[in-house]
Structure 1
Amino acid sequence: MLVTYLEASRDLCETDSILFGAALATCRIIGAKVSTAGRATGHSSAIPPWSRRIEERIAKARALIGRLICFRSGNNRPRIVRTVRMAFAK
């Protein structure tokens, strides 16, 4: 059955997925535990590291903007004041 799928595969990515599936099925049959944490489920759906870093920066900026708005509205809690001082120091 594996030969049929491998002959029909069109590119290296598809061949990799077929072989991974066969290895995973074999491990399940023999009862071996396999960690798939390092493998992306879909090669095209994996988020690139540069995109993840940009999203993190956006989230931090939004949090800072929210605290600055709170401070401008009159919230003088120590944590807010400390955040505003650190923001202006940068």
Structure 2
Amino acid sequence: MATGLDDQAAALDVIKNALDAAVEAGKGSWGNDEYGDRFSGGDNGYDKRQPILENTITSVTARLRSYSKGLNDGATKLEQTEKDNADGFKTN
């Protein structure tokens, strides 16, 4: 499962990189007319929402990697505990 989370985080990195490139290439292409101002301005406009989307993708990616690390660390500790217990029975 942890490997799958790492794979999903890597896929999100690819998506975010593509999004960043597209955003940079299209920046300001909506113009400075009334329509462009309505599209990009205000609380619900592109200029305010686009960074939120980028931050969300970055946050989800980091969270997936954190979950993956936690699962791997937990599995490693469980395996070590099992080995220690098995070794304890062998010496008795």
TM-score, structure 1 normalization: 0.31
Give the number of the structure whose alpha-carbon radius of gyration is greater: 1
TM-score, structure 2 normalization: 0.30
